[in-house]
Amino acid sequence: MNNFVFYNPTKILFGKNQIQLLGKEMKSNNVKKVLILAGGGSIKQNGVYDVTIKTLSKEGIESVEVWGVRPNPTLDHANEAIKIARDNNVDAILAIGGGSVIDESKSIAAGFYLDNLWDVFEKKALIEKALPIYTILTLSGTCSEMDPFAVLSNEAEQKKWGMGSPLLFPKVSVIDPSIQMSLPWHQTVNGGIDAISHTMEFYFLGTNEEITISMDEAIINTIIKSIDALQVDSKDYSARSNLAWCATLALNGNSGVALKGGDWASHRIEHGISALHPEVAHGAGLAVVFPNWIKYCASENPAQFKRFAEKIWNCDNIEDAVEKMKSKFRSWSAPTTLRDLNIEKSEIEAIADNALNIGNLGAVKPLTREDVIKILEFSY
Amino acid sequence: MNNFVFYNPTKILFGKNQIQLLGKEMKSNNVKKVLILAGGGSIKQNGVYDVTIKTLSKEGIESVEVWGVRPNPTLDHANEAIKIARDNNVDAILAIGGGSVIDESKSIAAGFYLDNLWDVFEKKALIEKALPIYTILTLSGTCSEMDPFAVLSNEAEQKKWGMGSPLLFPKVSVIDPSIQMSLPWHQTVNGGIDAISHTMEFYFLGTNEEITISMDEAIINTIIKSIDALQVDSKDYSARSNLAWCATLALNGNSGVALKGGDWASHRIEHGISALHPEVAHGAGLAVVFPNWIKYCASENPAQFKRFAEKIWNCDNIEDAVEKMKSKFRSWSAPTTLRDLNIEKSEIEAIADNALNIGNLGAVKPLTREDVIKILEFSY
């Protein structure tokens, strides 16, 4: 195994009714006034908002609210929220939502102390301080609830980029799988495919990290089983909770132990897609790109790709495995081609250029512009 | 899945030469003077001591040393170390050793601020403050390097008891598997069996926690593979590092997610053995007790025991699985009977009484005194 550092101080409160405990957690960390960040109004319909306000006020914690975080959250919205956070002198942020809301909350937490938030994404500034972050997760997938990373879209420059800092680990995250029971089907699927993809970004670098690799297989197999079960009964709590915890494990450090930081080419190609097509959900873009990345790169570390075929798809070669994977995604009504995403063939070069605009791409196989174009052509 | 809380803030530096980074980590946390705690002199032979002193002095960190921690560490020795820690006004503890040394370091860290350390074990006092703990692990098994628990022997009262507090998570732990390459064979095996046992203490409570259960299977199977490989070549770094990380995962919270805190009857029965026979290594005692606990309790949660037989031992019933397990332990030269430990049949009742002296025993099956005696008779 390669050397590695493992560090993840986020406290997770997992399960039914755990939101009620959040006020106490925040009070014990001396939070007095919090910025609540959220997307649309769904948390007002499903009761999450009310329970949250109750646990905060029970502990005497004041709050100010910012709504309207979009899927593929934007720099502009984050900057507006930073202004409100400063004007109201908050001392913490509480993100209520999925990965988009939590990612934006990290940008706000860091940006609160910065002159120009985007500088961090451009690696022109360092995060030396950040507001403490609390989260209530409403959609499992990104693992933003238990990782130190954030992705943000700079619309003016058509850049969807990421950043991270140990200061951005959420302090406490609540994962109550029961509040995900009423999610639209495609959101459950997108979250699951995102989590499978996170695991795969590490997996294919495997050589002799037996424990990480076999845990990764446990994660991927459990996600597939859980989504299949939810397709039969979307209120299956056992499946919902296994899926939720798998999505957290897929990027909280465990799935990547000793795997050199991962590959991330598929994610970056997907960011190229959704930078140009903000209407494309991240998980949907990954469902299209990742199987074709596998097909294109399988000769690089053949033993590991063969193991993937055997342990996940119960077949003995990667071509069949990719077909089975696509067919599984289709059975979940996920897209598997760029056409399914309503993207034209003529856009492939622009997507490739966008994916490459942050520098070198890929670790299993370092990808040139031509490689990315071929993967996107496979995906068409 | 049952509700659970996950929290583990220990930072792990894993791999070759990682000890060198420790001084910097301690300095960044403002450590000025540290109590170094160790067992015998092996760390002076294998170079670990020299590298440690070098990284500390490079950062200007002073140290005072306490040697002579025994396997099954004692209250008396911990109390002596607490006095030295106070007299020298240290502001942190650095444990260099296996579980015994790290467990004792936690007792010292808490006892530094207590009138009577043993009160914590008797649940008559609470830990409200503790010195920060740093560790350099020299023998994988207990996971004390990444958990908040400590076991200590009160020889005067013949009690080997445990305690825990979130304040006792080590701040930073170094796990360099290469320094374990020169361990005596039986220590490697004892550590591995301890780690398998930790995983099993949770596993048999499984019902619908698919991800935790399948990760636990990954841990147990990887440990077995790794010990087998080390029996062929004790310097196999890949096996050594997989074994080390498995031992950490077996009790750092991951293996027990949603499994109700575990069973722990086998551990408590083993503590009864080594309270009366301090010469018995913890892993050796577990090798004797656990297979017989399985045999005795298998009718309680039969589907899970059957799954264990299939996924770990490749057979379809638990009786065969237990025989395969014992035979595997014997192939590693581990003991599998009380006789192998030189314990007389006449001592069984005293061991049972000792195991029960802390209260109720067992979660898979709550055990009476008669149950414990039967398990120990099976073990004879």
At B361-376, the pLDDT tens digits run 999 999 999 999 999 9
* Interface contact A14-B249, CB threshold 8 A: no
pLDDT at A359 over 90: no
pLDDT, tens digit (0-9, with 9 covering 90-100), for A144-166: 999 999 999 999 998 889 999 99
Pairing of strands B149-154, B159-164: antiparallel
| Tokens found for residue A1 | 């195994």
Do A127 and A143 meet the contact criterion of CB atoms below 8 Å apart?
Answer: no
What is the rounded distance in angstroms from the CA atom of residue B315 to the CA atom of residue B252? 29
pLDDT single digits (tens) A80-124: 999 999 999 999 999 999 999 999 999 999 999 999 999 999 999
Quick: pLDDT tens for A228-273.
Answer: 999 999 999 999 999 999 999 999 999 999 999 999 999 999 999 9
Please give, rounded to a whole number of angstroms, the shortest distance from the CA of B76 to a CA of chain A: 34
Which one, of B319, B292, B296, B321, lies nearest residue B380 by Cα? B292
| Interface probe with B: pick from A203, A215, A225, A257, most Cβ of B within 10 Å | A215
Of 3.40.50.11720, 3.40.50.720, 1.20.1090.10, 3.40.47.10, the CATH number of A182-379 is 1.20.1090.10
The percentage of residues in chain B with a pLDDT greater than 90, rounded to a whole number, is 96
Q: Is A175 helix (H, G, I), strand (E, B) or coil?
A: strand
What is the rounded distance in angstroms from the CA atom of residue A234 to the CA atom of residue A237?
A: 8
Residue A67 CA to residue A81 CA, distance in Å, equals 9
Q: Alpha-carbon distance B161 to B103, whole Å?
A: 11
Q: How far is CA B36 from the centre of its chain?
A: 20
Strand pairing report for A172-175 and A133-137: parallel
Chain B neighbors of A220, CB-CB under 8 A: none
Q: Phi-psi bin for B200: left (phi > 0), alpha (psi -120 to 50), beta?
A: alpha
In chain B, what residues touch A226 (CB-CB under 8 Å)?
Answer: 210
Contact by Cβ (8 Å): A356, A372: yes
Q: How far is CA B342 from the centre of its chain?
A: 23
Q: Which residue among A3, A10, A219 places its CB closest to the CB of B18?
A: A3
- Rounded to an integer, the average pLDDT of B200-227 is 98
**Closest chain A C-alpha to B297 CA, distance in angstroms:** 25
Tens of pLDDT, residues A21-71: 999 999 999 999 999 999 988 999 999 999 999 999 999 999 999 999 998
Given a cut of 90, is residue B259 above it in pLDDT? yes
Residue burial B302-318, b: 16+ Cβ < 10 Å; e: rest: eebbbbbbebbbeeeeb
Output the DSSP codes for B260-273.
Answer: TT---HHHHHHHHH
Region B75-89 average pLDDT: 98
C-alpha separations of A82 from A72, A100, A115, A256 in Å: 18, 16, 11, 32
Residues of A in contact with B18 (CB under 8 A): 3
Separation of alpha carbons A267 and A285, rounded Å: 9
Helix (H) or strand (E) holding A170: none
Q: State yes or no: pLDDT of B71 exceeds 90.
A: no
pLDDT class of B359 with cuts at 50, 70, 90: confident
Strand, helix or coil at B320? helix
- Count of all residues that appear for chain A in the document: 380
Instruction: Provide the number of CB pairs (under 8 Å) joining chain A to chain B.
Output: 121
pTM of the model: 0.97
Return d(Cα B220, Cα B198) in angstroms, integer.
Answer: 10
CA A284/CA A300 separation, integer angstroms:
26
One-letter amino acid of A198? H
The pLDDT value given to residue B41: 84
In angstroms, the CA A368 to CA A43 distance is 43
Query: Do B214 and A226 count as a contact with CB atoms less than 8 A apart?
Result: no
- Among candidate residues B185, B214, B187, the one with its CA nearest the CA of residue B199: B214
Boundaries of every domain in chain B: 11-178, 182-379
Q: How close does chain B come to A3, measured CA to CA in Å?
A: 4
Could you please state the CATH topology (level 3) that the domain comprising A11-178 is classified under. Answer: Rossmann fold (3.40.50)
Residues of B in contact with A4 (CB under 8 A): 12, 14-15
pLDDT above 70 coverage of chain B, percent: 100
User: Which residues does chain A have within 8 Å of residue B254's beta carbon, measured at their own beta carbons?
Assistant: 249, 254
What ipTM describes this predicted complex?
0.96
Indicate which of B173, B211, B236 best probes the interface with A, i.e. most A CBs within 10 Å of its own CB.
B211
The pLDDT mean for chain B works out to: 97
Residues in chain A closer than 8 A to B2 (CB atoms): 15
A29 Cβ under 8 Å from any chain B Cβ: no
Q: Does residue B344 register a pLDDT over 90?
A: yes
